[in-house]
């Protein structure tokens, strides 16, 4: 410090320079800073701060400036995700007409309040063609109708708009849906005995026998050996044919039928009273 100079000849001065803009010059968007300077008292010239007493320096101050209303402006948000990954989608964003009403406040206005052209809110995206994809048709019914079985379906390699069918090699094999799955519609009914119609009676007159087929079949009609023998229907039964009761003509020769060898037994067991045996063993039964 030069000889003859004293601290009392200097003091702090406070000044506000022109408003410095930090944003649009409206609604207190600027900041005015109060600069504290060390000046000579005799001619107000600015000198280095070291000439003034630092303990008497006032604190720094600042204030907002530019209180004019802000004009409306467009707020443009970020683009949202595209609606499709391929084959042409669209994406949107928020576009609002706003006006600042304070350092951290704003209001939304009608779109007509903003004088500039409205920014685009929607645009196309991802216009590239989608790769072929697997398309599965409906499942068939479970086959067979009972017990364990399978359902089947057709799986095609199609264009993304489903208008074209491609060879399977055009679609990724690792993502192909299954074409067959297991299924079951419950237990199958057990095999059962199935009988045919009775055949003709073996005797044209009197007692004879008639036969029919008896089969053990599964529910599909296949031959089976799992039917219980205890309930097997009979395959043969006795039958009786009605005999002609008209008397034997006296002019017709009464004789035993050659192919019948049991006529002596018919006589022995007294079967001659029966019309069939009397006819077959006419000579043997004559007079009895």
Tens-place pLDDT, residues 1-43? 432 233 333 334 444 445 554 445 666 556 677 777 788 777 7
Q: Are residues 236 and 206 in the same domain?
A: yes
Can you give the residue range of the structural domain that contains 59?
10-65
Least confident of 65-69, 79-83, 124-128, 209-213: 65-69
Whether the predicted pLDDT of 233 surpasses 90? yes
The domain boundary, picked from 170, 185, 200, lies at 185
Pair 173, 208 in one domain: no
Within this chain, do residues 15 and 61 fall inside the same structural domain, yes or no? yes
Q: Would residue 20 count as lying in a domain?
A: yes
Encode pLDDT of 103-117 as tens digits: 678 899 999 999 999
Q: In this predicted model, which residue has the larger pLDDT, 140 or 146?
A: 140
* 229 is a domain residue: yes
**pLDDT classification of 203: cutoffs 50, 70, 90:** confident
Does residue 5 lie within any of the structural domains?
no
Query: Does residue 1 form part of some domain?
Result: no
Distance CA 70, CA 102 (A): 9
Query: Which tokens in the block code for residue 217?
Result: 């079949």
The answer as to whether 201 is a domain residue is yes
Q: How many CB atoms sit inside 10 A of residue 277's CB? A: 24
Clarify whether residues 77 and 102 are in a common domain.
yes
Domain boundary among 125, 153, 168: 125
Give the span between the Cα atoms of 51 and 36, in whole angstroms: 13
203-215 mean pLDDT: 88
* Residue 252 binned pLDDT confidence (cut-offs 50, 70, 90): low
Integer Cα distance of 198 and 211 in angstroms: 6
pTM greater than 0.85: no
Residue 184 has pLDDT above 60, yes or no: yes
Q: Choose the final residue of a domain: 147, 168, 185.
A: 185
113: left (phi over 0), alpha (psi -120 to 50) or beta: alpha
Q: Is residue 47 part of a domain?
A: yes
Are 86 and 118 in a shared domain? Answer: yes
Summarize pLDDT for 264-285 with one digit per residue, the tens: 888 888 888 887 788 888 888 8
> Which of 63-77, 194-208, 255-269, 272-286 shows the lowest mean pLDDT across its residues?
255-269
Number of domains in the chain: 5
Residue 14 lies in a domain: yes
Q: Does 2 fall in a domain?
A: no
- Per-residue pLDDT at 13: 41
Task: Give the list of residues 6+ apart from residue 252 with CB closer than 8 angstroms, or none.
Answer: none
Residues 180 and 149 in one domain: yes
- Specify whether 137 is located in the same domain as 175: yes
Tell me: do 32 and 47 sit in the same domain.
yes
- CB atoms under 10 Å from CB of 27, counted, come to 20
Q: Are strands 46-47 and 30-40 parallel, antiparallel or unpaired?
A: antiparallel
């Amino acid at each position: 410090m030069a000889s003859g100079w004293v601290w009392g000849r200097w003091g702090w001065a406070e000044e506000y320079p022109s408003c410095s803009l930090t944003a649009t010059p409206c609604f207190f968007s600027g900041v005015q800073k109060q600069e504290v300077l060390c000046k000579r008292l005799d001619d107000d010239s600015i000198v280095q701060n070291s000439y003034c007493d630092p303990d008497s320096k006032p604190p720094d101050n600042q204030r907002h400036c530019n209180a004019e209303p802000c004009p409306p402006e467009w707020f443009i948000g970020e683009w949202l995700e595209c609606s499709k990954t391929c084959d042409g989608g669209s994406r949107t964003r928020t576009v609002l007409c706003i006006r600042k009403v304070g350092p951290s406040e704003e209001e939304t206005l009608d779109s007509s309040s903003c004088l500039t052209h409205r920014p685009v809110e929607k645009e196309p995206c991802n216009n590239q063609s989608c790769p072929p994809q697997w398309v599965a048709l409906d499942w068939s019914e479970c086959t067979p109708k009972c017990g364990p079985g399978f359902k089947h379906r057709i799986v095609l390699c199609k264009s993304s708009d489903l208008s074209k069918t491609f060879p399977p090699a055009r679609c990724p094999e690792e993502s192909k849906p299954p074409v067959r799955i297991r299924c079951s519609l419950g237990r199958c009914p057990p095999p059962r005995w199935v009988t045919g119609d009775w055949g003709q009676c073996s005797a044209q007159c009197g007692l004879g026998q008639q036969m029919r087929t008896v089969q053990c079949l599964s529910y599909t009609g296949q031959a089976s050996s799992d039917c219980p023998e205890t309930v097997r229907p009979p395959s043969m039964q006795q039958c009786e044919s009605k005999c002609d009761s008209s008397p034997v003509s006296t002019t017709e020769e009464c004789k035993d039928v050659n192919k019948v060898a049991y006529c002596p037994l018919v006589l022995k067991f007294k079967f001659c009273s029966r019309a069939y045996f009397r006819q077959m063993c006419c000579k043997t039964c004559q007079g009895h």
